[in-house]
């Protein structure tokens, strides 16, 4: 089960080293792209490097994966008891992680940025809809699947009671615990709020309320 913490700047961590692992030890180096490395691989007390400089280490903690974002570097790892952690290294002001059901996370940053994340099979931090900054409204069926939305657009409309309101358009997506890729669901859902009320009524069926107030149900396969 995940333990959730939000990291602070590393004032209490070990001082950053000035050089990367030596050439002789390169077989134990995990190359992550973007100039990031983990050394030594899958060992307690290992370190995360960027551009040949150590940027993070914690006694007894094993860094396993990262996800680089402009709002803060996400990293995943295990402590000596095997507890899992997903944290933000030097988060931008306002950036935070919120744990969701099923081991998923909501990443929030200033400017209305919202992303749904997970750690896939203990090896990779996944942004489930990397091209969108409006992913959210995640709900989990308690078994093996989650559904979430992202905003595709919107417009000013006159509601049935004569008020001018903003009508949001959403696309829905389903993610399964044992599948790497998400599935895009067909319907476009509209609502007068960016908070879409999605609910599971069965382990393979969700419901939402239309702008007319009608309850719509959608089978998830």
pLDDT digits (tens, 9 = 90+) for 8-59: 333 333 333 444 555 545 569 999 989 999 999 999 999 999 998 999 999 9
Q: What is the mean pLDDT of the chain?
A: 89
For residue 109, count other CB atoms closer than 10 A to its CB. Answer: 20
Q: What's the confidence (pLDDT) of residue 59?
A: 97
**Pairwise CA distance, residues 96 & 159, whole Å:** 35
Cross-strand pairs, 4: 86
Query: What is the model's pTM?
Result: 0.84
Q: What's the confidence (pLDDT) of residue 34?
A: 93
Task: Tell the burial category of 217 from Cβ atoms under 10 Å away from its Cβ (0-12, 13-18, 19+).
Answer: exposed
- Evaluate whether 37 touches 21 at the Cβ level (below 8 Å): yes
- Evaluate whether 146 touches 105 at the Cβ level (below 8 Å): no
Q: What's the confidence (pLDDT) of residue 161?
A: 82
Q: Band of the pLDDT at 3, cuts 50, 70, 90?
A: very low
- The mean pLDDT value for 106-129 works out to 96
**Pairwise CA distance, residues 57 & 54, whole Å:** 8
Cross-strand pairs, 205: 202, 219
Q: What's the confidence (pLDDT) of residue 1?
A: 43
- Eight-class DSSP state of 140: E
pLDDT digits (tens, 9 = 90+) for 149-197: 999 999 999 877 888 999 999 999 999 999 999 999 999 999 999 999 9
Residue that is written with structure tokens 């750690």 in the block: 119
């Amino acid at each position: 089960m995940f333990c959730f913490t939000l990291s602070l700047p590393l004032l209490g961590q070990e001082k950053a080293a000035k050089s990367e692992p030596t050439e002789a030890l390169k077989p134990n180096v995990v190359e992550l792209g973007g100039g990031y490395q983990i050394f030594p691989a899958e060992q307690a007390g290992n370190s995360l490097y960027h551009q040949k400089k150590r940027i993070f280490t914690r006694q007894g903690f094993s860094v396993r994966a990262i996800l680089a974002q402009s709002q803060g570097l996400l990293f995943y790892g295990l402590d000596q008891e095997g507890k899992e952690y997903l944290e933000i290294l030097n988060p931008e002001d306002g950036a935070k992680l919120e744990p969701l059901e099923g081991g998923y996370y909501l990443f929030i940053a200033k400017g209305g940025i919202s992303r749904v994340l997970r750690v896939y099979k203990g090896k990779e931090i996944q942004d489930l809809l990397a091209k969108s900054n409006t992913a959210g409204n995640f709900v989990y069926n308690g078994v093996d699947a989650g559904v979430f939305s992202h905003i595709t657009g919107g417009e000013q409309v006159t509601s049935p009671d004569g008020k001018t309101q903003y009508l949001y358009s959403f696309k829905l997506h389903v993610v399964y615990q044992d599948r790497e890729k998400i599935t895009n669901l067909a319907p476009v859902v509209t609502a007068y709020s960016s908070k879409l009320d999605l609910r599971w009524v069965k382990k393979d069926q969700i419901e939402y309320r239309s702008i007319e107030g009608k309850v719509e149900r959608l089978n998830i396969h």
